[in-house]
């Protein structure tokens, strides 16, 4: 498999970025909701949330740069017109933009609250009440939108694989397309 993508197959770099961002996003979502449920003593969960969210955002920026500077995206497996095509396009754009927005609002919350020192430094004590800081509301809304988008994305991928049988998932696998 080539490093660069072709019209039929994503390249190694795109595949590694896709699955790395996906895994980090799932960790960020799970640890973020766990930290919210635990409350002001959720240092470990919030630390995992902050690190995985920041990495997902940073790798998304790398992915965007990779597409613009070096690689091309394969042609769509099935070109949908109408509402399905519009939903697919909007979902894909949001799946690229939202991790960056979530990382930025998370950084803003850590900076405004001073929680970074408690999470990554030696400052003792409970975490601040994040609800008091402006980035908290868009961060929470963004998390819920991201969950909906991930569910939509996975459902669409399974629909392509199980119903349409168009071998879409093979484009993001390490196996060579026949």
Domain assignment present for residue 7? The answer is: no
How far CA 82 is from CA of 17, 22, 88, in Å, comes to 30, 27, 10
Domain assignment present for residue 42? The answer is: yes
In angstroms, the CA 119 to CA 31 distance is 14
Concatenated DSSP letters for 8-45? SS--HHHHHHHHHHHHHHHHHHHHHHHHHHH-TT-HHH
Tell me what pLDDT residue 118 has: 86
Tell me what pLDDT residue 59 has: 98
Query: Can you give the pTM of this predicted structure?
Result: 0.90
Tens-digit pLDDT string for the chain (178 aa): 789 998 888 999 999 999 999 999 999 999 999 999 998 889 999 999 999 999 999 999 999 999 999 998 777 655 667 888 888 889 999 999 999 999 999 999 999 999 988 888 877 788 899 999 999 999 999 999 999 999 999 999 999 899 988 888 888 887 755 4
Domain assignment present for residue 2? The answer is: no
Tell me what pLDDT residue 178 has: 46
User: pLDDT tens for residues 102-124?
Assistant: 999 999 999 999 998 888 887 77
User: pLDDT tens for residues 138-160?
Assistant: 999 999 999 999 999 999 999 98
How far CA 33 is from CA of 14, 28, 140, 151, in Å, comes to 28, 9, 9, 16
Return the CATH number at 50: 1.20.950
Q: What is the mean pLDDT of the chain?
A: 90
Q: Are residues 91 and 149 in contact, defined by beta-carbon separation less than 8 angstroms?
A: yes
Domain assignment present for residue 177? The answer is: no
Domain assignment present for residue 1? The answer is: no
Domain assignment present for residue 87? The answer is: yes
Q: What is the number of other CB atoms lying within 10 angstroms of the CB of residue 159?
A: 12
Tell me what pLDDT residue 79 has: 63
Range of the domain at 84: 12-172
Total domain count, the chain: 1
* Residue 80 backbone zone (phi > 0: left; psi -120 to 50: alpha; other: beta): beta
In angstroms, the CA 106 to CA 63 distance is 20
């Amino acid at each position: 498999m080539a490093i660069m993508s072709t019209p039929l197959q994503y390249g190694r770099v795109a595949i590694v970025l896709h699955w790395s961002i996906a895994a980090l996003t799932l960790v960020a979502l799970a640890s973020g909701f766990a930290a919210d449920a635990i409350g002001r003593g959720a240092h470990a969960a919030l630390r995992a949330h902050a690190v995985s969210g920041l990495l997902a955002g940073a790798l998304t920026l790398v992915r965007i740069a990779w597409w613009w500077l070096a690689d091309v995206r394969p042609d769509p497996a099935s070109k949908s017109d109408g509402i399905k095509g519009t939903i697919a396009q909007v979902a894909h754009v949001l799946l690229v933009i939202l991790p960056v927005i979530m990382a930025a609002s998370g950084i803003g919350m850590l900076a405004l609250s001073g929680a970074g020192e408690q999470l990554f430094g030696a400052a003792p004590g409970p975490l601040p009440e994040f609800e008091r800081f402006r980035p908290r509301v868009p961060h929470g809304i963004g998390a819920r939108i991201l969950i909906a988008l991930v569910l939509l994305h996975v459902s669409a991928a399974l629909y392509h694989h199980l119903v349409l049988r168009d071998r879409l998932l093979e484009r993001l696998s390490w196996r060579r397309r026949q």
